[in-house]
Structure 1
Amino acid sequence: MAFPNVYTHRKVAEIKPKACDICYKLSSSVLITPDNKDWFYVCPAHLKDTGFCTPKIDQAAIEARKKRELDEEVERVKKEYEEKQKKKKEKEEKGKEEKKEESGDNDKGGNGKANQEEAETEKDTDTVPVIEEEEPRVFELKSTFYQQRVNKKRQAEIARRNRERLQDPTYFPSVPKNLP
């Protein structure tokens, strides 16, 4: 009947929050076991309390995510570099054409536009995407809280069995039919 001490944090609809099992404040956060045998509402503040639970960190998943993010960053930098090289070549070609024409007014106008394009690309490269740290989703309850959950489930199972027994007509003895 015991279930593993691994709980996943999930959010439920904000329209119908239920009372937290610890402090009885309304909460839309739920801790649930992987096999859905046990679940209960809990405040997000309790999840940060080290006396209540500890986050279980999956190192392999973190490493895979970091590697994926690094690969994406490398691809983005490569694309930016290729674009800059392409614009640089175009700028050099335009510069050679303008020198051949030898018109002073056109040189100033052409360089101004090229400088604007460079400034825009520099602005784009300066903005580094901010990676938000995700809150841990998998938790392990401390032994006292886990034992309370197990006892509560056990008592609920016993109460359910007792109700079923009381509903069964053969549970009680029958009335004697013969006279003494």
Structure 2
Amino acid sequence: MAFPNVYTHRKVAETKAKSCDICFKLSASVLITPDNKDWFYVCPAHLKDTGFCTPKIDHAAVEARKKRELEEEVERVKKEYEEKQKKKKEKEEKAAKKDEAGDKKSKDDKADEDKQKTADKTEPKNDDSAASPVDDEEEPRVFELKSTFYQQRLNRKRQVEIAKRNRERMQDPTFFPSVPKNLP
């Protein structure tokens, strides 16, 4: 009958939104136990309230995400380094050709190099967009209710089961006593 005090936060469609169990405002957020025995609608603002629940952080998932981000950063830096090395080799090759071609084209090449340097400096970098993606994973998804709210959930579940059992008993004809057949 009892269920663990671990609830997962899920979103439902806006058309399926129902009133929050705490403040009775419409909410599309649901807290549900892993075994689906208990669930209830709750406002996202209540999830941030430390008096209502505390987030359970999966440290392994956090470490894996940090490691993945670090690997992506390393790959990006490697690509940038390789591009710089290619440009450097191209400049050296141009310089070698320049020595062979003579001095008359050297002025044109210097102007081209200056233009290329200024273009490289003014080239916008996409570091900000790659470094700070907005993920839904940043919000905690697993919560543990405070003891008073958890106890309320348990009591409500017990009351529902008791009411169900009583309805079943009332349907059973042997539940009520029979009429006496003997005379008093």
For the aligned pair, the TM-score class normalised by the smaller chain equals 0.7 to 0.9
Matches of 2:85 and 2:110 in 1, distance apart? 22
Q: Which piece of structure 1 moves more, 161-170 or 10-19?
A: 161-170
Is the counterpart of residue 168 in structure 1 residue 169 in structure 2?
no
Q: Which piece of structure 1 moves more, 124-133 or 1-10?
A: 124-133
1:21-80, Cα deviation, whole Å (9 max, x unpaired): 000001111111111111100011111111111111122221121111111111111121
Question: 119, 125, 131: which one pairs with 1:129?
Answer: 131
Matches of 1:114 and 1:90 in 2, distance apart? 12
Matches of 1:107 and 1:76 in 2, distance apart? 31
Give 1:168 deviation, angstroms. Answer: 2.3
Give SS of 1:15's match.
helix
Q: Contact (CA 8 Å) 1:91, 1:114: kept in 2 or not?
A: no
Give SS of 2:82's match.
helix
Give 1:132 deviation, angstroms. Answer: 4.0
Instruction: Quote the residue 1:6 is aligned against.
Output: 6
1:93-120, Cα deviation, whole Å (9 max, x unpaired): 1232234223145314531553255236
Question: 111, 114, 118: which one pairs with 2:113?
Answer: 111
Q: Contact (CA 8 Å) 1:52, 1:141: kept in 2 or not?
A: yes
TM-score, normalised by the number of residues in structure 2: 0.85
Runs of 4+ in 1 over 6 A off after TM superposition: none
Instruction: Quote the residue 2:52 is aligned against.
Output: 52
Matches of 1:14 and 1:48 in 2, distance apart? 21
Letter matched to residue 48 of structure 1: K
Give 5+ residue unaligned stretches, structure 2. none
Instruction: Quote the residue 2:154 is aligned against.
Output: 150
TM-score, normalised by the number of residues in structure 1: 0.87
Is the counterpart of residue 141 in structure 1 residue 142 in structure 2?
no
Letter matched to residue 23 of structure 2: C
Matches of 1:93 and 1:136 in 2, distance apart? 54
1:91-106 residue pairs with structure 2 within 5 A?
91-102=91-102, 103-104=105-106, 106=108
Instruction: Quote the residue 2:26 is aligned against.
Output: 26
Letter matched to residue 119 of structure 1: K
Corresponding pairs, count: 178
Give SS of 2:125's match.
helix
Instruction: Quote the residue 1:87 is aligned against.
Output: 87
Matches of 1:155 and 1:3 in 2, distance apart? 15
Matches of 2:165 and 2:111 in 1, distance apart? 88
Q: Which piece of structure 1 moves more, 105-114 or 90-99?
A: 105-114
Matches of 1:90 and 1:19 in 2, distance apart? 66
Give SS of 1:166's match.
helix
Give SS of 1:86's match.
helix
State percent identity of aligned pairs: 72
